[in-house]
C-alpha cells in the first residue's frame, strides 16, 4: 500500500477540493481526512457513518469534592488560572500539567483523559473514509490526526487497499507533521499569491526536514502567471517537481453547488483534464498499478 498526503502551506488553496477529485479518480483506496481542526472533506464526499468512536486526547485535572479541604493551594499554584475562586477546575483553561495534583495536601485531584473529539469510519460513493471532529476549544489535534491516520492505515491493510490518500491540515504545525509522518510522498497544493509562495517555501522546508519526497501542484495558476512562474522557478532550483497546473474554473464551484465533484459533473472541462493529468503523474510517481 502507498501513502500520499496532500497538504498546503496555508488555507484556501483548494487542497481539499483537489484531494476529493483525486479520490474520485483513484482506484482501490481509503481516504483519511486529517484536517481535524477544520474538516470539510465530508461536505464534498458526503460520508455515511458506519462506526463512530469517542476520542480521548488531553488530560485534565478532576477534583473529588468530598476530599477537598478548600486550602486554596491549587489556585495559588496553577499557572493557567484554571482553578476558580471556589476551587473548581476550569476544564477549558486546564493544561493538564499535573502540578495541582502533585501538591494537593488531601489527594483530592487527579488527571483524567478528557473526551476531545469523535472519530468516524464512513462509506462514500468513491471510497471508504476515516475522519474526525475535534470538540470546540479542544486541543491535541496532532494526536487525533495520528489516530485518524492509524485507523485508516489499519483498515487499508485489512481491506488490501492500494492507496491511503490523506487530506492534511494547512500550515506547518503538529497536525501537519502527524499527517506526513511515514508517508511515501507529499503533494503540496499551492496558489499563485505572494503569501502562497512564502507558505510553500515554509512547508517544503518542513517536508524536507522529515526527508520525504514532495511534489507541487499550482492551483488557479492562471490567476497570476507572474507568481506562478516564480513558484516554478523556486521549485526548479530546489529540485521539486511540479506535477500539475490547474486553471481557475467556475465549473468547480458550480459542481459543488450541485453537490458533485468537477471530475463527475464536467468531465470534459479544462480543469478536469488538468486534474486527470495531475493524477496520472502522481500515481505514476507512486508506482500505483491502477
> Site residues (CB under 6 A) for ligand SF4?
61, 63, 68-74, 77-78, 80, 82-83, 87, 89, 94-100, 104-106, 108-109
Least distance (Å) between residue 114 CB and ligand SF4: 11
Q: Which is nearer to ligand SF4, 64 or 159 (CB)?
A: 64
Least distance (Å) between residue 64 CB and ligand SF4: 8
Helices (H), 46-166: 73-77, 99-103, 141-158
Give the number of other CB atoms < 10 A from CB of residue 79.
8
Least distance (Å) between residue 81 CB and ligand SF4: 8
Q: Which is nearer to ligand SF4, 43 or 69 (CB)?
A: 69
Residue for grid cell 485489512 = 158
Least distance (Å) between residue 58 CB and ligand SF4: 10
Query: 15-25 and 270-285 helices cross at what angle (nearest 10)?
Result: 70
| C-alpha atoms less than 13 angstroms from C-alpha of 248 in its C-beta half-sphere | 10
Contact status, residue 104 vs residue 63, Cβ threshold 8 Å:
no
Least distance (Å) between residue 177 CB and ligand SF4: 25
Q: Which is nearer to ligand SF4, 139 or 153 (CB)?
A: 139
E strand or H helix that includes residue 238: none
Q: Which is nearer to ligand SF4, 114 or 199 (CB)?
A: 114
Contact status, residue 263 vs residue 125, Cβ threshold 8 Å:
no
Q: Which is nearer to ligand SF4, 38 or 92 (CB)?
A: 92
E strand or H helix that includes residue 226: helix 225-237
Amino acid at each position: 500500500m502507498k501513502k500520499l498526503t496532500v497538504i498546503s502551506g496555508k488555507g484556501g488553496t483548494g487542497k481539499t477540493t483537489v484531494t476529493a477529485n483525486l479520490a474520485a479518480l483513484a482506484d482501490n483506496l481509503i481516504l483519511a481526512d486529517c484536517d481535524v481542526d477544520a474538516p470539510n472533506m465530508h461536505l464534498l464526499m458526503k460520508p455515511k457513518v458506519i462506526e463512530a468512536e469517542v476520542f480521548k486526547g488531553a488530560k485534565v485535572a478532576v477534583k473529588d469534592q468530598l476530599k477537598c479541604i478548600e486550602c486554596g493551594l491549587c489556585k495559588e499554584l496553577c499557572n493557567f488560572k484554571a482553578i476558580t475562586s471556589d476551587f473548581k477546575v476550569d476544564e477549558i483553561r486546564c493544561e493538564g500539567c499535573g502540578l495541582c495534583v502533585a501538591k494537593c495536601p488531601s489527594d483530592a485531584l487527579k488527571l483524567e483523559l478528557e473526551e476531545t473529539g469523535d472519530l468516524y469510519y464512513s462509506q462514500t460513493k468513491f471510497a471508504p473514509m476515516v475522519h474526525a471532529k475535534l470538540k470546540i476549544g479542544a486541543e491535541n489535534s496532532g494526536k487525533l490526526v495520528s489516530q485518524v491516520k492509524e485507523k485508516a492505515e489499519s483498515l487499508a491493510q485489512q481491506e488490501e487497499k492500494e492507496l491511503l490518500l490523506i487530506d492534511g491540515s494547512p500550515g506547518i504545525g503538529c497536525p501537519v507533521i502527524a499527517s506526513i509522518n511515514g508517508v511515501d510522498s507529499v503533494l503540496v497544493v499551492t496558489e499563485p499569491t505572494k503569501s502562497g509562495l512564502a507558505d510553500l517555501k515554509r512547508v517544503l522546508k518542513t517536508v524536507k526536514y522529515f526527508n520525504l519526497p514532495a511534489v507541487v501542484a499550482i492551483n488557479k495558476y492562471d490567476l497570476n502567471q507572474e507568481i506562478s512562474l516564480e513558484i516554478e522557478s523556486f521549485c526548479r532550483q530546489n529540485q521539486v517537481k511540479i506535477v500539475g497546473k490547474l486553471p481557475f474554473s467556475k465549473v468547480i464551484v458550480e459542481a459543488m453547488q450541485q453537490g458533485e465533484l468537477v471530475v463527475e459533473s464536467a468531465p470534459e472541462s479544462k480543469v478536469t483534464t488538468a486534474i486527470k493529468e495531475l493524477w496520472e503523474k502522481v500515481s505514476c510517481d507512486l508506482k500505483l498499478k491502477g
